[in-house]
Structures are given as C-alpha cells and as structure tokens.
Structure 1
Amino acid sequence: MAACCSFSCASLQPARQALPSRSRVAVAAQASQAPAAGRPAAPHRRRLPPLAAAGDHAAYGSSAASRRAALAAVVAGIATIGAQPAAADENAPRQGEVRHSEAEWRRLLPPDAYAVLRQAQTERRFTSPLVNEKRAGTFCCGGCGQPLFASSTKYESGTGWPSFYDALPDSVALESDYSIAFMPRIEVRCSRCLGHLGHVFEDGPPPTGLRYCMNGAALTFQPQQA
C-alpha cells in the first residue's frame, strides 16, 4: 500500500488449532503517561514487534517516504489480483474461529474478496471505492463481518489502498511475511477468520505512527446509524 500486501486459486491447507505461538504477534497497547508540568505530552508512537527470523533479509525499512514508494511500485507491479499469487505463507492455516471449506468460501465470497482474503492476493491501487469512503462508520472483515477499523482512524495515505492508523482492540492478528524476499513485512489478518487483509508499517501518522494498509476487497463498510 504505500505498499501493502501481497496477496489464483490453490487448495486451502488443513486447519490447525492455532497459529504458531512464536510467529503470532500483537501490537502493544498504547502506554498512558502524564505530561510533564507545563510541557505537552509527545505523541506516543507504537513499535511493531520484530519480524520472526527467516534467513538473512534486508533491513525492515529505510525512510518512510522511500519505503512507501518502493513498496507501492513492487506491489502494483507483481502482486495484483490476476497475477501469480505472492501469499504471505501458502502453508499457513487460514481457518480461525469462523471456518469454512474452500468450496464454501468460494461460494460465500465475491471472486476479488476470495482472492484477497483466502489467497493473500493484492488488489490494484485505487480500484476500491473504500479508498474514498469518508462517512462515519465501521470497516468490517469481508469474510466474517468482524469490526476491524473505526472510520475515525482512517486517513489519506496516498497509496491507493484504504489506510488506518489503528485497529479496533483484538480485531487483527499479525504474521511475519517474507513472500518478497528483499522486503520483509508484517501481514495483517482478521483475528476471527484469519482472512488476509493487508500489511502494517511504521510510517503512519500520530498518535500511533502505524499505517494499516488494507485491501478494500477484504473489507465491508457499515455506516454509522443516524
């Protein structure tokens, strides 16, 4: 999304009880600190957990701007829907609390949502109407309906994918992703169905400093009731 995700059709792997504990990670909760007397509190930037070891890879990133540009170019060029899949981990289980057979997922989901959520493909930039969605409401998982992001955390990243600086509590699970060997990333999954949503980066705005770069095809939007 400034790089986002890396997301043709292959059989789903047999479900496992849980993701490997050593690779499943979560973003630490924001610490609350009282500002020093007469001095405003500095915005608290969260740090993503380190990527799980997977060989000798390049550093996680240089500058925010250069990484955004590089990732956007790479993703747009080699990891779009219809191209060869670049799954975060083709053998990783994607059967969570909400689970269906591959045939059921195909029947339940539109083709583009199936390609992203179940096969970790990436939609083309600026193709999702959710990029320009500005109404108050909640962005939910397109696979199981779990609420994921409040509209108040959405911002314009300029990447061509819906972007958020924070996720709702306990709504997402994170996984190390080495599908692009020279560009290690952290994949974002729905914590309920383990559907692939996108990736998260440390070049977002305050107060978290995070950028959840999501595929619109993996999301649905529920407007706030008047």
Structure 2
Amino acid sequence: MRPAFSLSLQTVVLLLLSVTVSPLRQNLSRRSLVAGSVFLPLVTSVASASAEISGTKYPVAKTEREWQYVLSGQQYNILRKGGTEPPYSSILESEKRLGTFVCAGCRNPLFESSAKFNSNTGWPSFATALEGVEVTSSNPAKQLLTGVELKCDKCGGHLGDVFGDGFLFPGTPAAKSGKRHCIDGYAMIFLPANGEAEVFGDLPGKKKELPKWLESPQITPRDG
C-alpha cells in the first residue's frame, strides 16, 4: 500500500533548516550553516585542508623557502598550508570602506568591498567573488553541506571556503547571490579606494565584546 504522503529530499532539507537548537548567541564554525544564533545539525564540522599547496599549475610559483621569506608566519600558514585563523582575529573582518581585497601572496584581486557583508561568523564574508578566485568544485550539494575550498587562481594560495547558504542571511548581498564566501583575513590585503594606506589582513582584529551577563564580575579591593 502506498503511504498517505511522502516527503521529497528538498522538503526534508528545508524542514531541517527551519530548526533552531539554541536561542543563545554563539560563535559557530564557518564550516557549519549558520545565521546568527541558528545552528543546523544537518552539517557536521569539517577540518580545514592541511596539505601543502602546490604552485606548479599557477602563474606565480615559488619554492616553500621563498614563500616563507615573502610571507608572514600567519600568511604562510593560511595561504600555503591551508590553515584557518581564529574567528575575529583579522582586522579585515570589520573593514567597511570601499576598496578591493587582494591576495597577500601575489596581490591578485579577489573581492570587491561592495560584496562584503557581516555574517557574524568571525571571518570576512563576501556574496560574490572576482575572477581571480578559483572554486575547486562546482557541486552545489557539497557547497551547501560542507563548503568548497577557494584558492587564488594566480598563486594557488588557500583563501577559505564558499557555502551555498546565502539564503540564511536576509537583507545582505548573499541572499541575492545564494553564496557565502567565507575567507581568512590573513590571506588578504585591503586596498582602500580613496588611496589610503593598504591594510594587511594579518593585523589583529578588534576584540569582540561579550554581553554584560557573560563578563567576569569586578572585584573591588577592600580599604585598609
């Protein structure tokens, strides 16, 4: 006998996406589908790529010793080793001026500031990318569930990941593009459109303030 109703895979996914597990605001991994305080149990956290990045197929190729010489330790860990920076650790996460974000390894243009939005994940996020960004897979299911690695198409440097969860960010450019390019700030340099000094992404970001109810109690010393 045929069941009274059946749910398509798309319907099941949409139902799961509507579930809110906790009302508390929290910092969530960029490799999860997030929207403020919403955590989607459909996706598990996936570790960053840790393999050494080969530059043989890219126009800009250097030996590892040369990369270590031209990059800071933090830039090298992200761009050449596929590492990931801590959330809110890059000054570029809060950058809001007009300008262009370029690769810290070869200065290849990657993102325009008009595509940047606040995702509340702790990493610089962009709705769209420039042609200088290489997407390692076009599989939409993979983008939605685990994210797809992004590289600089000029030097092969690891930049971050792209997710197909832009719809979770209403009122932002990502809601229109359907994509969230979650990028390590350490991998980039920001060039302001007004000609001001460039900003290296491996500079420390602004410390995120905790809600008053999470702050440590102040201890007042006793007189005498």
SS of the residue corresponding to residue 78 of structure 2 reads helix
Q: What's the CA shift for 1:203? A: 1.2
Kindly indicate whether the alpha-carbon contact (under 8 Å) linking 2:148 and 2:163 is maintained by their aligned counterparts in 1: yes
Counterpart for residue 215 of structure 1: 184
In structure 1, runs of 5+ residues without a counterpart are: 6-60, 80-85, 177-182
**Distance in structure 2 (CA, Å) of the matches to 1:68 and 1:130:** 29
* 222 and 67 in structure 1: CA distance in 2 versus 1, 3 angstrom threshold: farther
Q: In structure 1, which of residues 83, 93, 97 is the aligned counterpart of residue 54 of structure 2?
A: 93
Aligned to 1:159, the other structure's residue is in SS state coil
Aligned pairs for 1:115-134 (under 5 A) are 115-134=77-96
Question: What code does the residue aligned with 1:219 have?
Answer: M
Which fold has the larger relative contact order, with Cα–Cα distance below 8 Å and residues 6 or more apart in sequence?
Answer: 1
Give 5+ residue unaligned stretches, structure 2: 1-26, 138-144, 167-173, 196-224
TM-score by length of 1: 0.60
Q: CA deviation at 1:209?
A: 1.0
1:105 corresponds to? 67
Contact (CA 8 Å) 1:136, 1:152: kept in 2 or not?
yes
Equivalent pairs, count: 152
> Are the equivalent residues in 1 in contact too, given 2:52–2:82 (CA < 8 A)?
no
1:21-40 matches, within 5 Å, as none
1:140-159 matches, within 5 Å, as 140-159=102-121
Flag the structure with larger Rg: 2
2: distance between equivalents of 1:87 and 1:93?
Answer: 13
In 1: Cα distance, 2:41 partner to 2:101 partner: 23
**Percent of residue pairs identical:** 39
CA RMSD of aligned residues (A): 2.8
Residue 206, structure 1, aligned to residue 175, structure 2: yes
Q: CA deviation at 1:70?
A: 6.3
Amino acid in the other structure paired with 1:200: V
The match for 2:122 is 160
Deviation at 1:185, TM superposition (A): 2.8
Shift of 1:3: 3.8
- Runs of 4+ in structure 1 off by over 4 angstroms are 61-65, 67-71
Between Structure 1 and Structure 2, the one with more helix by share is: 2
Contact residue 139 and residue 221 of structure 1 kept, 8 A: yes
Aligned-pair CA distance for 1:175: 1.9
Q: CA deviation at 1:94?
A: 3.4
Matches within 5 A, 1:21-60: none
CA distance in 2, matches of 1:62, 1:155: 16
